[in-house]
Amino acid sequence: MKELSVQDYHGNRKTTCCFTGHRSRDLPFGGNLHKQGMKCLVSSLQMLIIEAINDGYKTFISGMSDGVDLICAQLVLEAARSERYGQIRLVCALPYAQQYREIVSALDKYKYSLLLNDCDEKVVVSVAGNRDRYKLRNQFMVDNSSRIIGLLKEKKCGSGTLQTVNMAKRAGLEMKIISADRNPQLYVDTDLEVSDRKPKLLDCNMISYEQSDGS
């Protein structure tokens, strides 16, 4: 893993995709991966990542917060270890160097450490005392990507995820944002099979331009 400053990072924006999404507490079933709804979400995110790879994307940037960020980072590394998809790179964009301290779950802490150790590059965007550290991280990801994949609750106004989606929309990124509200299969609490239909993506023309530093 190579550690870089924002100034030293040089990537190919045309073949770079970033991620956004809510933290575990705001995901279906609190992000419990044993629930069928969360299994559907992971499958949907995996489908969008593989679609991006097939479209020529080689580099993926994760903001490394718990929840969607860590899920997507892990999916990228799984794809990178497979011989099916060629050389895939994971870049971890940290809002500040001590981000690890905010991870609550012991399991997520463990995943975080493994992902950071196995990623190709780590970029520390700001410092702990900077109130705009998350906004700067989000802007870094958008500035260096041409597609964004994620999950958004349409009624969750003022979130960092909404902030990132709005940044991406203004910057002209290709949007692949799953709508939590339009995909009831994400909230199924059963072990029964759920159809493998494509997830309904958000109508990005309807997104408002509200800002926040949260996730």
Q: What is the pTM of this model?
A: 0.92
pLDDT of residue 208: 56
| CA distance to 40, 72, 150, 205, per residue, from 184 (Å) | 10, 21, 16, 22
pLDDT of residue 131: 95
pLDDT of residue 2: 86
Quote the tokens at residue 116. Answer: 């950071």
**pLDDT band at residue 136 under the 50/70/90 scheme:** very high
1-58 pLDDT tens trace: 888 989 999 999 999 999 999 999 999 999 999 999 999 999 999 999 999 999 999 9
Q: Share the mean pLDDT of the chain.
A: 91
* Domains within the chain, CATH numbers bracketed: 11-206 (3.40.50.450)
47-104 pLDDT tens trace: 999 999 999 999 999 999 999 999 999 999 999 999 888 899 999 999 999 999 999 9
Q: How many CB atoms lie within 10 A of CB 32?
A: 13
pLDDT of residue 215: 52
**H/E run at residue 59:** strand 59-62
